[in-house]
A and B are shown apart, each in its own frame.
Chain A
């Protein structure tokens, strides 16, 4: 049993932390207000390799596996959530779908430009009538010679307005449902019949774009079918396992930042003639925050470690996603409480973090779905 992270991952952490402190934290408020990450920052992130974090070096990736990915996303989590969200949707679920189930040709065609950030990825599963009930997908794909024709729409798609490569899930055989009837496709934004619909306004995650995607007789070459026909759902679940571990890492990083700000505030804010950190009520909150963060961090690292060993991690991914997201919401809530009125003001980062954390319990599979995944896996193993 050895809890030491490999030397290169420690170096990765140090580098990402320095980048976050020097480049991202100073503009976190600007991103919030302008609802946009400045282009030059996105370019810098591309140059540094953020867009290829989980992929091997032969695909122009960083080559530090899921564990390296997790540590980088944890550090990114300290800044505005938009940064981690951009990378998470791009690499964690979109790129990962191609990496896990793509043919050698598909991987060679899409992963290197995605890893270099020349192509931005999005993952399009959710629809107006299909969210947690993913099998209720209504978007269809009809085979016509060497093409598929897609019709339908997707909603709340992260990176939607800026995506060049979209992983789209569509019904290829209505009679078979989720098991055998849904296929995954790699759609480029230049394909005829594809367009971006309404761009959403959100409670938080400002600077991260979310939109509707519309497919009207969208023509997709047959070689862009991803994975086996009818098994799109399997691809989605495998990619989401990785995505959920990454999401948990971002939650840990955000919670850690909220704790650090709370400690600083507790030492500095004087009430009743002494710093509020000397009050037991505040101390208990800090102790609980730190303990929960510690637990979530170790769970996340463990799930990533297991994924890197090629083991199945669906249960662990669901557990860390559920636990870390709920932990983050409790921690940021306490952070606001410790900061008092200051923490409720829009100019303070904890106010933004409070709003940003809320989505963690909803996206990449609601926490209710995570509980289902965990329970079904437990019951199946017990049979």
Chain B
């Protein structure tokens, strides 16, 4: 089975401080980590390889420093890794990122299964996984908490939905995004670190991927950020005293006062 895992390098938010004057994140000096949800994706890929054989390739789009995160994935047990990096990719929104990562998957000859984390902890959009699948025109299942069954042509999974679990299946090739309930990611093995050191991370640019540059980077990103602000803290509501009957009476009074009813 050929598995490709897409990861993102993000600032370690546990180390991020907020500039009290501008209300923006202070990113300087903040260590970078693999997006935590993506570590579950890497782990699941490695487990599939351990059970069914095959390969796990990890790809990421970003600046050269992302190589560190890719090496960490190799130290965990991935076979190889590619970095999609080019000035032409700078300023990508989720649409352009999905297109670029999908181009990377195509460059690698596709995969039986593509695994992504459910979302990144910095952007929190959860759009890139499904975006890649749409671009590649393959089915996708989001919020997967368990792979029940997988063979060369089909996958059956449990996915988290509001208030329960949904069992879904689809044909392969497919893309899944995973939640943290799916596994417990391993730490890199000490021997894996030496393997990661020797493994060269190949960098693929716009030319290598043969991408349409009107669809990458800032040019390929229709998203426009108009304003970033911290939501106002809502005032604490009024707590009603008394027994249930009394509370209900007060509530109705208050709602009438507010002309809600």
Contact = CB atoms under 8 A, between A and B. Distances in A.
A15 B189 CA distance: 8
B191 A63 contact: yes
Interface string B18-35: 000000000000000000
Given A11-B71, A11-B72, A62 B190 contact: yes
B194 interface: yes
A47 B190 CA distance: 9
A305 interface: no
A214 interface: no
A11 B73 CA distance: 12
Interface stretch (A49-57, A331-339, A372-380): A49-57
A52 B71 CA distance: 21
A49 B75 CA distance: 12
B190 to A, nearest CB: 3
B75 A47 contact: no
Interface string A334-365: 00000000000000000000000000000000
Contacts of B75: 11, 15
Given A11-B72, A15-B75, A49 B197 contact: no
B190 A48 contact: yes
B187 A53 contact: no
Contact of B188 (A11, A57, A61): A11
In this complex, the member of B187, B190, B197 whose beta carbon has the largest number of chain A beta carbons within 10 angstroms is: B190
Interface in A139-181: none
Nearest to A56: B194
Contacts of A11: 71-72, 75, 188, 193, 196-197
B183 to A, nearest CB: 15
Contacts of B189: 47-49
A334 to B, nearest CB: 29
A73 interface: no
A294 B201 CA distance: 35
A18 interface: yes
A8 interface: yes
Interface in A44-74: 47-50, 52-53, 57, 60-64, 72
B74 to A, nearest CB: 11
A57 B193 CA distance: 11
A15 B33 CA distance: 13
Interface in B42-84: 71-72, 75
Contacts of A12: 190, 193
Contacts of A22: 187
B191 A62 contact: yes
A19 interface: yes
A149 B175 CA distance: 66
**Residues of A contacting B: mostly:** helix
B194 A62 contact: yes
The interface centre, meaning the residue of A8, A64, A72 with most chain B CB atoms within 10 A of its CB, is A8
Given A11-B75, A15-B75, A57 B187 contact: no
A15 B191 CA distance: 11
Interface in B189-220: 189-191, 193-194, 196-197
B12 to A, nearest CB: 12
A2 interface: no
Interface string A3-35: 000011001100110110010000000000000
A377 B189 CA distance: 40
Nearest to A12: B193
Contacts of B188: 11, 15
Contact of A64 (B71, B72, B187, B194): B194
A7 B191 contact: no
Contacts of B190: 12, 15-16, 48-50, 53, 62, 64, 72
A154 to B, nearest CB: 31
Nearest to A22: B187
A18 B197 CA distance: 19
A167 B238 CA distance: 74
B78 to A, nearest CB: 15
Contacts of A15: 75, 187-188, 190, 193
A48 B194 contact: no
B40 to A, nearest CB: 16
B187 A63 contact: no
A25 to B, nearest CB: 14
Interface string B162-199: 00000000000000000000000001111101101100
A8 B187 contact: no
Contacts of B193: 8, 11-12, 15, 62, 64
B191 A18 contact: no
A190 to B, nearest CB: 28
B175 to A, nearest CB: 29
B187 A48 contact: yes
Contacts of A64: 190, 193-194
B107 to A, nearest CB: 27
Contacts of B194: 8, 57, 62-64
Interface of B: 71-72, 75, 187-191, 193-194, 196-197
Given A8-B194, A62-B194, 18 more contacts: A7-B197, A8-B196, A8-B197, A11-B71, A11-B72, A11-B75, A11-B193, A12-B193, A16-B190, A19-B187, A47-B189, A49-B191, A50-B190, A60-B191, A62-B190, A62-B191, A63-B191, A72-B190
Per CB-CB distance, the 5 closest pairs between chain A and chain B, nearest first, are: A49-B190, A8-B197, A62-B190, A49-B191, A11-B193
26 contacts: A7-B197, A8-B193, A11-B75, A11-B188, A11-B193, A11-B196, A11-B197, A12-B190, A15-B75, A15-B187, A15-B188, A15-B193, A16-B190, A19-B187, A47-B189, A48-B189, A48-B190, A49-B189, A49-B191, A52-B191, A57-B191, A57-B194, A61-B191, A62-B190, A63-B191, A64-B193
